[in-house]
Chain A
C-alpha cells in the first residue's frame, strides 16, 4: 500500500484548497473516511466488499492475452475492469462513496462526469442504495457520450448540462463544487477520480486499490510471481492509482501511467489551449479544484483547455499522489497520441475480442510502441469497455487512415 498521510499531503502535493463553506464538510468527510474506511467502523468495509461482489461482479478476472503475447514476445495479462458492472473501474469508487454518504446520513448525491462513465457508475450506485442523484456533465461531453447520458437517466439520475468554457470535465467539476457549496449540509459530492481536496485522493485510491489487490494475487497464482510492468491510462488517475497501489512497495514492478498526448504535446499559450491532456508529462505545479498538483496552465497560472480523443482523459489536472510518485521516480509518466490510441482500440478489438474504452486504448498504444522495454510479464489494466465510445470511434476513424480499422465507407452506407 502506498503511503497514507493524514494531513492530505503527498510531498508538496495535495492539501485542501476550497471555499470556506466547504471546509466543515471536508472535515466531516475526513472523519468518516478515517472511521469507516480505515477502521471499518460499523462493518462499513465488509458491506462495501459484499456489495462490490454481489452487485458489482467482483473479483474481475486477470486474463492471459494470447495473441498480444505472441505479437509482443512477452506475456501480456489483462486486468478486466471492463467486466465490472457498468463497464468500468469507476463503480469501485462510486459504490464506496455513495455507501459512505449513506453511513454519514447524507440525503443527496451530486457528481461530475467526463466520459459519463463515472456518472453512470454513480447513478447505478445511487439507484442501488436509494439515494437521489444529480450529475453535472459538460455539453460537449454530453454530445460525445450519449449512451451514458441515457444510462444515467434510466437509473433515475438527473443530468445537468454545463455550458461554460469548453463544456468538458474541468467545467463540470467546478459546477459540481458550486452545487456542493450551496447544498453542503445534506449533500455528498462523489468526486470521480483521485483528485480534489483531501481526503478524496486518498479515499478514492483506497476504494480503487481493490484492482491491484486482486491483480497481485491473481498474477501470483497464474505466474508464480509479479509482473515486470503494470500499465494503466491516466486521466485524473483513479484506475492508475487503483492498479498501482498494491505494487508500489514491489520495487521490481515498473509502473507506467499512460497519458493522453492528444494531437500534439505543444501548447498554444496565446489561445490557452493544450492539444493534449498530459499534465504529468508536460504540466507544472499549481492549485486547482482543491489540491496542489500538476496542471496544464499558462505562464500566468490560468488553466488551459485540454484535449483528448477520449473524454475520460480530457482534464487539465491529475491526482496529487500520482504527481508525487512521478516526481519520486516510482511511477513513469508516458503518453501516446490520439492516432495511436485509436489504432490500439481497433487492434485490441480484433486481436483479443475485447473492445476497450478509448481511455484504456492509450495503455495498449504504449504497449505497442514499447513492449520490448517493459520486461517479460506485463499487466495492462483494462479500465473500461468501449461501448460508450462507438459513436466517437466511427467519427474519428473516418477522419483518419487506420489500415486495421473496418471499412468505414461500407459502414456509413448501412448494412
Chain B
C-alpha cells in the first residue's frame, strides 16, 4: 500500500510540507509560488484543489479558495496545473470528497484517482472523508499506487485511531488543535499528547494547523514530529501580495524565504532530538 515517493520524503530528517491552493490568485502566478516553495526546501507539497464549501478551513484558506475559483480553477485545470509544475518533490492533492466523487463518467472516486496517477500526484488528503466512508477511495488509491493521508484530531482516540491507522499511508496528518485551519501565535499544547498517542504506529507523523514560524517548527519537531505542515502562514503571503498588487517574482521570493525559515526550524528541531528518538 502506498507510494515510494512519500516514504522517501520522510527519510533522513524532519519533512517540511507546505500547502498552497492551486491557482491562487491565478494559474501562472500560482505555478511560480509552488516552485518557490521547493526552492525554499519543501520535501512534499500539498496542493489544494478548491471546493466551494471548504468546511474545515478558516478565513485565510477560504479566501484563497474563492480567489482560485474566481480565477477559473476546476478539477481539469488542476491536473493541468500539476503537469505545468517543474518540481521534483512529491505532490499531494488536498480537496473535498465531492470533487473526487463527481469526476469522470463513471460513478465513484476511481476516475479521479486514475487521472491523478497519470499526472504524477502521489496521494490525497480529504478533510471531509472520515475512515468510515473512505474504503472506495482507499481501494482506488491501492489500484493506482497512491497514498491516502488521514487527519488525526485531538479528539480522536481508541477505536477511531485504529480504524484510521488501518487505512492510512504516506503520512498521518496530526491536527495540532481543534478548530479550522489558520496561523496561530503559539504552538498548541495538544500536540505533544497527540504525538504520544500515535507513537506505537509505524507511519510518519506530520503536524499541522497553526504553524507560522521557524521557531514553531523547531519546537514541534524537537517534540517528536516527523514533519510539519504549513498552510495559512504561506497563503497569507500570497494574499498580501495580491492585495498590494506586488510583482509575482517578489511574492515568490517572500514565499521561498518563509519556506526556508520553516525548513531550517524543522532541521534545528531535529538536531535537538535524542538519537534514539530519530527515525531510522
B135-156 interface with A by 8 A CB criterion: 150-156
**A17 touching B133, Cβ below 8 Å:** yes
> Scoring A residues 299 to 321 as 1 if CB is less than 8 Å from chain B, else 0, what string do you get?
11111000000000000000000
- The distance from the CB of B227 to the nearest CB of chain A, in whole angstroms, is 18
A9-65 interface with B by 8 A CB criterion: 15-21, 23-25, 27
**A181 touching B56, Cβ below 8 Å:** yes
A297 within 8 A of B: yes
**B128 touching A17, Cβ below 8 Å:** yes
**B179 touching A182, Cβ below 8 Å:** yes
**A164 touching B62, Cβ below 8 Å:** yes
From known contacts A20-B151, A301-B98, infer whether A289 and B55 are also in contact, taking CB-CB under 8 Å.
Answer: yes
A177 within 8 A of B: yes
Q: In the complex, A297→B99 CA distance in Å?
A: 10
Residues of B within 8 A of A17 (CB): 97, 128-130, 133
B111-149 interface with A by 8 A CB criterion: 127-130, 132-133
B81 within 8 A of A: no
Residues of B within 8 A of A15 (CB): 132-133
B180 within 8 A of A: yes
From known contacts A16-B133, A20-B175, infer whether A297 and B128 are also in contact, taking CB-CB under 8 Å.
Answer: no
From known contacts A164-B66, A181-B179, infer whether A18 and B130 are also in contact, taking CB-CB under 8 Å.
Answer: yes
Residues of B within 8 A of A21 (CB): 151, 153-156, 175, 178-179
Residues of A within 8 A of B66 (CB): 164
A388 within 8 A of B: no
B29 within 8 A of A: no
**B153 touching A300, Cβ below 8 Å:** no
Q: In the complex, A288→B103 CA distance in Å?
A: 15
Residues of A within 8 A of B62 (CB): 164
From known contacts A20-B130, A300-B102, infer whether A178 and B75 are also in contact, taking CB-CB under 8 Å.
Answer: no
Residues of A within 8 A of B51 (CB): 301-302
B280 within 8 A of A: no
- The distance from the CB of A277 to the nearest CB of chain B, in whole angstroms, is 16
Residues of A within 8 A of B249 (CB): none
**B178 touching A185, Cβ below 8 Å:** yes
> Scoring A residues 250 to 291 as 1 if CB is less than 8 Å from chain B, else 0, what string do you get?
000000000000000000000010000000000000111110
From known contacts A185-B155, A287-B128, infer whether A19 and B56 are also in contact, taking CB-CB under 8 Å.
Answer: yes
A397 within 8 A of B: no
From known contacts A16-B130, A19-B127, infer whether A178 and B180 are also in contact, taking CB-CB under 8 Å.
Answer: yes
**A181 touching B180, Cβ below 8 Å:** yes
The residue of chain A having its C-beta at the shortest distance from the C-beta of B59 within the complex is A164
The residue of chain A having its C-beta at the shortest distance from the C-beta of B128 within the complex is A17
From known contacts A20-B151, A20-B152, infer whether A182 and B53 are also in contact, taking CB-CB under 8 Å.
Answer: no
**B101 touching A301, Cβ below 8 Å:** yes
Residues of B within 8 A of A27 (CB): 160
**B128 touching A302, Cβ below 8 Å:** no
- The distance from the CB of A84 to the nearest CB of chain B, in whole angstroms, is 31
Q: In the complex, A176→B43 CA distance in Å?
A: 35
Q: In the complex, A182→B209 CA distance in Å?
A: 12
- The distance from the CB of B212 to the nearest CB of chain A, in whole angstroms, is 18
**B128 touching A300, Cβ below 8 Å:** no
Q: In the complex, A287→B157 CA distance in Å?
A: 26
B244 within 8 A of A: no
Q: Which of A165, A287, A289 counts the most B-chain CB atoms under 10 A from its CB?
A: A287
**A182 touching B178, Cβ below 8 Å:** yes
Q: In the complex, A178→B180 CA distance in Å?
A: 6
Q: In the complex, A177→B56 CA distance in Å?
A: 8
B74 within 8 A of A: yes
B152-186 interface with A by 8 A CB criterion: 152-157, 160, 164, 175, 178-180
**A303 touching B175, Cβ below 8 Å:** no
The residue of chain B having its C-beta at the shortest distance from the C-beta of A17 within the complex is B128
- The distance from the CB of A341 to the nearest CB of chain B, in whole angstroms, is 27
Q: Which of A170, A178, A295, A303 counts the most B-chain CB atoms under 10 A from its CB?
A: A178
- The distance from the CB of B271 to the nearest CB of chain A, in whole angstroms, is 31
From known contacts A16-B133, A17-B128, A286-B101, infer whether A184 and B178 are also in contact, taking CB-CB under 8 Å.
Answer: yes
**A288 touching B178, Cβ below 8 Å:** no
The residue of chain B having its C-beta at the shortest distance from the C-beta of A304 within the complex is B52
A2 within 8 A of B: no
**A303 touching B53, Cβ below 8 Å:** yes
A4 within 8 A of B: no
Residues of A within 8 A of B160 (CB): 23-24, 27
**B53 touching A289, Cβ below 8 Å:** yes
Residues of B within 8 A of A297 (CB): 98, 102
- The distance from the CB of B205 to the nearest CB of chain A, in whole angstroms, is 14
The residue of chain B having its C-beta at the shortest distance from the C-beta of A18 within the complex is B128
**B157 touching A300, Cβ below 8 Å:** no
Residues of B within 8 A of A177 (CB): 55
B67-87 interface with A by 8 A CB criterion: 69, 74-76
**A302 touching B69, Cβ below 8 Å:** yes
Residues of B within 8 A of A143 (CB): none
- The distance from the CB of B69 to the nearest CB of chain A, in whole angstroms, is 7
A183 within 8 A of B: yes
A160 within 8 A of B: no
Given contacts A20-B175, A21-B153, A297-B98, 15 further A-B contacts (CB under 8 A): A17-B97, A19-B128, A19-B153, A20-B151, A21-B154, A21-B178, A25-B155, A164-B62, A165-B52, A181-B55, A181-B179, A286-B102, A287-B97, A300-B102, A301-B99
- Report, nearest first, the 5 A-B pairs whose CB atoms are least far apart: A301-B102, A182-B179, A21-B153, A287-B98, A24-B155
25 pairs, A vs B, C-beta closer than 8 Å: A16-B132, A17-B128, A18-B130, A19-B153, A20-B130, A21-B154, A23-B132, A23-B153, A177-B55, A178-B56, A178-B58, A178-B179, A178-B180, A181-B56, A181-B180, A182-B180, A287-B97, A288-B53, A289-B55, A300-B99, A301-B75, A301-B99, A301-B102, A302-B99, A303-B98
B residues contacting A by CB (< 8 A) are 51-58, 62, 66, 69, 74-76, 96-99, 101-103, 127-130, 132-133, 150-157, 160, 164, 175, 178-180
A residues contacting B by CB (< 8 A) are 15-21, 23-25, 27, 164-165, 170, 174, 177-178, 181-185, 272, 286-290, 295, 297, 299-303
